[in-house]
A and B are shown apart, each in its own frame.
Chain A
């Protein structure tokens, strides 16, 4: 068998994960951030941050959940 030809490479699939959560990206080799810096993808699926609060941008680090917790607490006390 020969190596994968570009034509046979699986397509890039992007899946959103609810409010404030990341988008899952499958099939990408590189993710480019807003500043134009390229980040190499090393795992089969990556979670790309959309809340912009991650400390490991462009990757999700779960911080959106802390943001949501904070918002809920403010709502409760409001």
Chain B
């Protein structure tokens, strides 16, 4: 994967440093992040989320044009931390209504988490994909999904050592299924890659990074915000549960949309697999993991709800961006300029 094309001052600074073209002024950048103008919507902003996405990616796979040692470079960790603090504050604010309602509700933690998934308004994205989307729109959807699904379940693996006892066992059980249950050809990442290839898209990791807008990047950034920070492990697991609990029914609709449009069965079968798998995973995540964490330490309850609501809200912002673009007759992807355009990059870094 190559470093992305910058979309503004923050991503230009991060990419500039990582490519070795600029020297990091961590304090200046952190101050800039703290003082972002109100016009910047931290929940979805293109530049903000590309900068954060690129920093998180250091923990996953290498960029061909950046040193891998940036992963633990204190200055970049400081910049990441500044971005994260802004994002976390916005996410808390945006979800507070649902978190409070769930805290005030009585009864079983798992049932309250399931109820929360019905509380946060979703979008009609998968219904649209089921019945109305054009072939081009469904292919766009797969390109958005490639940002996460080519590393599907990897963020949650960072949480394993932070859970103990039965909750660790339950997450391992869930992850084992995501990772193919001992069969490499069934690794969910591989199933998704095969689906991309079957319909003529690239399965290369990061191939569509330059095309996906801020709201799509924000979905994985929120996931990483929780998954990589030990003190937010409960939010990571609430997030995982909400993901799994809102997957089976939408996956059935997407699979039907794929078949309606005559896409190869390889694509539809990825979604078929998730109808059944996620009907198991939602139970493991909400009952065994989240329920277990709350029973062990009631203090984590708020973070479980925060994580769940944050997932649902970020996913609905991303879905809304797709539907809005299509309603306006536009592509939901960014214009395809030749990536790695050196003069563009130089100009952005200099600005």
Are B118's CB and A45's CB within 8 A?
no
A61-B249, A69-B118 known; 19 new pairs, CB 8 Å cut-off, are A18-B111, A22-B283, A24-B284, A43-B177, A43-B277, A44-B177, A45-B280, A46-B280, A47-B283, A55-B252, A56-B275, A59-B276, A59-B279, A60-B280, A61-B248, A61-B279, A62-B279, A62-B282, A63-B249
Chain A residues, Cβ within 8 Å of B249: 61-63, 65-66
State the B residues within 8 Å of A (CB).
108, 110-111, 114, 118, 173, 176-177, 181, 248-249, 252, 275-280, 282-284, 287
* Inter-chain contact A18/B110, CB cutoff 8 Å: yes
Q: How far is the CB of A64 from chain B (nearest CB, A)?
A: 9
- B279: chain A residues at CB < 8 Å are 22, 47, 59-62
| Interface residue ranges, A against B (CB under 8 Å) | 17-18, 21-22, 24, 42-47, 55-56, 59-63, 65-66, 69
Q: How far is the CB of B295 from chain A (nearest CB, A)?
A: 16
Q: Which residues of A contact B111 (CB under 8 A)?
A: 18
Residue of A43, A56, A62, A66 with highest tally of chain B CB at under 10 A:
A62
Q: How far is the CA of A43 from the CA of B278 in the complex (A)?
A: 12
CB distance from A5 to the nearest CB of B (A): 19
Q: A61-B248, A69-B118 are in contact. Are A43 and B283 (CB under 8 A)?
A: no
* 14 A-B contacts (beta carbon < 8 Å): A17-B287, A18-B111, A43-B181, A44-B173, A44-B177, A45-B177, A46-B280, A47-B276, A60-B248, A60-B279, A61-B252, A62-B279, A65-B114, A69-B118
Q: How far is the CA of A55 from the CA of B114 in the complex (A)?
A: 21
Q: Report Cα–Cα, A23/B298, bound state, in Å.
A: 26
CB-based closest 5 A-B pairs: A62-B248, A60-B279, A47-B280, A47-B279, A62-B279
Give the distance to chain A from B232, nearest Cβ to Cβ, in Å.
26
Interface of B is mostly: helix
Q: How far is the CA of A69 from the CA of B248 in the complex (A)?
A: 15
- Chain A residues near B276 (CB-CB < 8 A): 47, 56, 59-61
| Cα separation A46 to B177 with both chains bound (whole Å) | 10
A18 CA to B287 CA, complexed, in Å: 10
Which residue in chain A gives the minimum CB-CB distance to B180? A43
Contact of A62 among B108, B177, B181, B275 (CB under 8 A): B275
Please report the C-alpha to C-alpha distance between residue A61 and residue B177 in the assembled complex, in whole angstroms: 16
What residues of chain B lie closer than 8 Å to A59, measured between beta carbons? Answer: 276, 279
Q: How distant is the Cα of A63 from the Cα of B249 in the complex, in angstroms?
A: 7
Which residue of chain A lies nearest to B282 when distances are taken between CB atoms in the complex?
A: A62
Check if B283 sits within 8 Å of A44, measured CB to CB: no
In the complex, what residue of chain B is closest to A49 when comparing beta carbons? B279
Chain B residue with the shortest CB-CB distance to A60: B279
- Residue of B at shortest CB range from A26? B173
Contact, CB under 8 Å: A44 / B176:
yes
Residues from chain A with a CB closer than 8 A to the CB of B177 are: 43-45
Chain B positions within 8 Å of A62 at CB level: 248-249, 275, 278-279, 282
B109 to chain A, nearest CB (A): 12
Q: Of all chain B residues, which has the CB nearest A46?
A: B280
Whether B283 pairs with A21 at a CB distance below 8 angstroms is: yes
Minimum distance in angstroms from B104 CB to a CB of chain A: 19
Inter-chain contacts of A43 with B (CB < 8 A): 177, 181, 277, 280
Given A62-B248, A62-B249, A69-B118, verify A45-B284 contact (CB < 8 Å).
yes
Chain A residues in 8 Å Cβ range of B282: 62
